[in-house]
Homo-oligomer: A and B are copies of this chain.
Amino acid sequence: MADPATVRRALAAQRIETPSWAFGNSGTRFKVFAQAGVPRNPQEKIADAATVHRFTGVAPTVALHIPWDKVDDYAELGAYATSLGVRIGAINTNVFQDDDYKLGSVTNPDAGVRRKATDHLLEAIDIMDRTGSRDLKLWFSDGLNYPGQDDLRNRQDRLAAALRETYDRLGAEQRILLEYKLFEPAFYATDIPDWGTSYAHCVELGEKATVCIDTGHHAPGTNIEFIVAFLLRQGKLGAFDFNSRFYADDDLMAGAADPFQLFRIMYEIVRAGALDPAYGINFMLDQCHNIEAKIPAIIRSVLNIQEATAKALLVDRDALGRAQNDGDVLEANSVLMDAYNTDVRPLLAQVRADAGLDPDPVRAYRRSGHQEKIVADRVGGQQAGWGA
């Protein structure tokens, strides 16, 4: 059985990065429902991330999205974050919202558009230099809606060229997190549709390029923990974008749709010794809280990941290994399920109490009056959303 003190230490040391954009408005193509109290600028988004960290204690960094979080002075923004107890994390690029990108960004048949898109990626590294960020997250919406629309292979060549140029601009401590996604917004073919494509490009680029797994970006039936285990074995797992889904890229709260799957993913992380922040994986959230309040939804997501992690840490790995080696299918499954079926909320409450936190962050946030305060304060101005 896992040593309780070790489990508590691991849970106390766990780190989850929140995304600035999840605090702003989001929605579907049918409607974006605006919510009272959402941030109106990067500073307010960072303040919200700091609020999540204040209540959970494990979310000390916040990812930015350029240009949505563009500011004149990133040093000042970083200092502001520090003043609130958090730091700026990964820099996310955006090459999907300009009219130029209708037929692609770095894979566009038009060389001028490719140049513009690549320049944006390079600019993001400039920003990283100023924010001290380690991670450049690249997601390309590039793809095709119709067979024949463009040449699949030419687009790979263009993609490789842009990645190479971007990679070569990275500083010694910087790295690329290369995301993949099955579909949306492209509906026939996506230029990086699966982990294999991302992996192959990362191998060609070099050791500073690693794969980012968004848990909502797979075909139905995909065994995500297998990909986690495989990429860990290859030394190419750089980050997660956590969220959950029932159908497509639903971007629901992590752990909301299939908590057992999240547990299995975290088990592979624990099994590989990759939970420790020193290992280098960036555990990020990437979610859309279309109908629920943003800050408590993110707190809940952090808690869901913590609970899955706690269960993963509780797996009796000696007993599991014995049963596996004995070929005892039922016993091996049972050992894993014993951990999953454990109610870890008391354990996490203890970990939080040890850290001087309220044992129930969701209730504590509700009681704090913070939501009412931001609703009252954040009046006027332009609410943040995917366009800003």
Chain A residues close to B by CB (< 8 Å)? 26-31, 33-34, 96-97, 99, 101-103, 109-110, 141, 145-154, 156-157, 182-185, 187-190, 193-197, 199-200, 203, 218-223, 225-227, 229-230, 232-234, 245-248, 250, 252-253, 256-260, 264, 268, 271-272, 290-293, 296-297, 300, 307, 320-321, 323-327, 329-330, 332-337, 340-343, 345, 362, 386
Contacts and interface: CB of A to CB of B under 8 A. Distances in A.
B320 A148 contact: yes
Contacts of A188: 223, 246, 252, 257
Contact of A233 (B31, B156, B271): B156
B97 A146 contact: no
Name the residue in A187, A220, A293, A326 with the highest tally of chain B Cβ atoms < 10 Å from its Cβ. Answer: A187
A166 to B, nearest CB: 19
A94 to B, nearest CB: 9
Copies in the complex: 4
Given A29-B28, A258-B258, A253 B34 contact: no
A268 B386 CA distance: 36
B248 A247 contact: yes
Given A29-B386, A150-B324, A221-B247, A252 B97 contact: no
Contacts of A157: 233
Given A145-B291, A333-B147, A152 B229 contact: yes
A103 B103 CA distance: 35
Contacts of A386: 29-30
Given A147-B264, A219-B220, A291-B102, A324 B156 contact: no
A31 B98 CA distance: 8
A342 B297 CA distance: 21
Given A148-B336, A200-B234, A291 B103 contact: yes
A368 B133 CA distance: 55
Contacts of A182: 221, 247
A324 B248 contact: no
B147 A327 contact: no
